[in-house]
Amino acid sequence: MAAGILIIEDEALLGVELSRHYRNDGWEVELASSLSQARKILLDQRFDPLLVLSDMNLPDGSALDFMEEVRGQLSYAEWIFLTGYGSVPESVRALRLGAYDFLEKPCELDRLDLVVASATRSASAQRRLIDHAQQRHRRYSPEAFVGHSAAAQNVRALLEKLTQVPFSALVIGGETGTGKGLVTRILHYAGARAQNPLIELNCAALPRELLESELFGHEAGAFTGASARHRGLIEQADSGTLFLDEIGEMPLDLQAKLLKAIEDRKIRRLGGEREISVDVQIVAASNRDLEQMAKAGEFRSDLYHRLNVFRLLLPPLREAKEDLDELVPLFVAEFNAKSGKQVKIIPDEVWRQLRAHDWPGNVRELRNVIERCVLFSDGPTFPVQWLQLPGQPSSVPKAAAIREDALFIPLDGSMNLDDMDCHIIRTAIERTGHNIVAAARALGTTRETLRYRIRKYGIDTVAR
């Protein structure tokens, strides 16, 4: 499909000459001799040009006023102005409005072609970015939160409202695997900031010193090893969204610095001398109850109340098992497409086992189970033997066999890394008599790290 160019020129001979030239060059050309005619072409005929080549002063008004009027409908089009009455104020206004160039008549065609070629590259790049954002918008609409349970419908209804308002901060609660990352992408890509950055950070994945540098950035020489300036994630998320996952694991002193940045809308890089203004929408998530943590002094109450402009609690899958009817076929189709499989038939026994399981890992666990089964399928029927759900019968040997002094885990694809990690931790806790300190020592890790993983996988640490 040829790229479009709209030529607005009241000099008939020049307009015809330019139209003929760019048609011969492969453009789809529309010619208007007045602003009212150009308005009909753009708004009534819905012409979508890549470039607008316009005289500055038309019989029925200023092209600058027209540009300001319609640029919301032409978000990526580049404007090139031609005028025989150029003035400094007009050229300054044109550039401030976002015009690509401002040329005086008469302008040699070769020079105009160079400017048009450069503007075309710029407009094409902007169009690709906008198309990409729109694809994300369609992919991450509120309908992407799948489920017909009352809980899922309530979440979708709230997402619909939240994507229509410019909120400054929001807290997402819910167990691990309930879809906090998905909800964040919906809030960003279906909201007003969709064309700006979405920056994500897992606060539990970094030690305190590195976490501060990642959030706020640093100047060269701020500390040993800081050889160059680093823009922090808050700065990178300017005009967009910052997703702070597992924010409950952030150290208290760093929480105070984050609160100040949110309140002042300014940050200072480590080792920096000046403050940098930022406009960031904060989405904070945790599988822990931040309100209870704040009451217990484990989380700053002032930061919690600043973040808790809105609160969205995601339901665990065990309380919305009717959503399996939509989630399972969706995941089967996804992994069919990725692996080239053709699984179409889901036997009643599969549905029985899926509905009987409590899904402590929620939707993430379900997705992993479906992925394993589809990858190991040999035909159109969903293989029940690869479900391997705890407490359910299976024709495959148990995923892990335990000897008194060893733990065996298969490498046949029947367990993913999270399953292995969870199984190892659960076994260590059981073998140490549910002593967390002893289990951490046996696993060669710290109590804090072990407690985080226990919460992550929902492992019961109470002796029975």
Residue 455: pLDDT above 90? no
For residue 136, the model assigns a pLDDT of 62
Those residues whose C-beta lies under 8 Å from the C-beta of residue 337, and which sit 6 or more positions away, are: none
Residue 143: pLDDT above 60? yes
SS3 411: coil
User: What would the pLDDT profile of 302-343 be if each residue is shown by its tens digit?
Assistant: 999 999 999 999 999 999 999 999 999 999 999 999 999 999
For residue 396, the model assigns a pLDDT of 46
Residue 400: pLDDT above 50? no
Among 127-131, 198-202, 248-252, the range scoring the smallest mean pLDDT is: 127-131
Residue 218 in tokens: 């640093």
Among 29-43, 112-126, 302-316, 417-431, the range scoring the smallest mean pLDDT is: 417-431
Among 105-109, 143-147, 275-279, 413-417, the range scoring the smallest mean pLDDT is: 413-417
DSSP state letters, 33-101: SSHHHHHIIIIIS----SEEEEESEETTEEHHHHHHHHTTT-SS-EEEEEESS--HHHHHHHHHTT-SE
* CA–CA separation, 117 and 104 (whole Å): 18
User: What would the pLDDT profile of 433-451 be if each residue is shown by its tens digit?
Assistant: 888 888 888 888 888 888 8
Q: How confident is the model at residue 402 (pLDDT cuts 50, 70, 90)?
A: very low
* CA–CA separation, 1 and 124 (whole Å): 13
Q: What is the pTM of this model?
A: 0.64
SS3 442: helix
Beta pairing partners, 270: 218
DSSP state letters, 292-358: HHHHTTSS-HHHHHHHTTSEEEPPPGGG-GGGHHHHHHHHHHHHHHHHT----B--HHHHHHHHH--
Residue 302 one-letter amino acid: D
CA neighbor of 293 nearest in space, from 309, 281, 304 = 304
Catalogue all structural domains in the chain, each as residue range(s) with its CATH number.
4-136 (3.40.50.2300), 140-315 (3.40.50.300), 317-396 (1.10.8.60), 397-464 (1.10.10.60)
